[in-house]
Structure 1
Amino acid sequence: MSDVSTTTLKMTRNFDVAPERVFDAWLNPEMMRKWFFTLEGTNKVTQNNPQVGGTWEIIDHREGKDYRAIGEYLEIDPPKKLVFTFKMPQFSELEDTITVELKELRQGCEMTFTQLIHVAHEENWTESDIEKAHGEWRDSTEHGWNLMFMGLNELLETGEISYKG
């Protein structure tokens, strides 16, 4: 049995803005620093090179600690699809893959978010341990993205996020 397995988190959100606006929020550093894994009040670094093979980095300062998220762009097809890697090196060298797909609706757009989550196994894990870990990882990851997507929605609608961290 492998030391790592993969589970998939899939989420769908509707926004009352054009897909181009949502796509831009994923790539524009000024927008990213307000919602993507960070908040304006806690963000220390937001760097982005939005091209295939380009990298991004966010450093967020919470509760006295720096949290670093990094990745590389694998596919950029504005304003329809974005694929990139996501890794937090202080916790794991495992790299997840995130796909964001945008579809224009009559009013606004629909975003489908998919994250392939890699889960490291502990020694002697059984199949049920792996299933339990997959559920826990999906739940905690979904919780974090739910909060971020609420901030993204507020940012797209108002230009600001009321919670500053």
Structure 2
Amino acid sequence: MKFIASLLLLFSFILDADSWLPPEPMAALSADASILVRVEPGVLPNRDASNKPHFAKASFFRWDHQGHYQPYQQLSLQNKVSPLLIYVSNQGELITLDNWYNSGHGDVVVLYKADGSVQKSFGLSAFYSRQQLEQLLRSVSSVQWRCYEKSPYLLQHEFYLPIRPAGVIKINLDDASVSLIDEDQSC
């Protein structure tokens, strides 16, 4: 009986191992510093008086060469609460990664065109076979699909995203094409 109680206690720690702090505003600067994007987290239902979800919002600012960033666009993101990471290109295209409180679920990568419209969104099935998906580690709220030891990066019009168990996804921002590169790389 002590063995069963110990085992249940161990499983309760494993299941509770997934915790999230409240999201905070975040910002990203393009490589040439011409575009600044600021993301304000959304509000989940029951967290405000309206009891309706408010999706995350992105505000875009352009450098005016007179010492200021001027606002030029605001849009609602597909993330109910907030993305985990954001990247912006020199042309103003936005890339969001993952979902706060639900990493690995839903649209894990969303590409927004410079005009704010969604170019393409990707779920995990765009990067993994069904068998590979079943092998990914999971917690109560998340799927461990990204390689956290290596950072994603944007180079010109190509976005590089390290994934588990090993490899790098390359996404072309011009046509949203996806390819797996560096399959032998360790995570």
| TM-score higher than 0.5 | no
Using structure 1 for the length normalisation, give the TM-score.
0.30
Which is bigger in relative contact order (C-alpha 8 A, separation at least 6)? 1
Higher alpha-carbon Rg: 2
> Which has more helix, going by share of residues?
1
> Which has more strand, going by share of residues?
1
Using structure 2 for the length normalisation, give the TM-score.
0.28
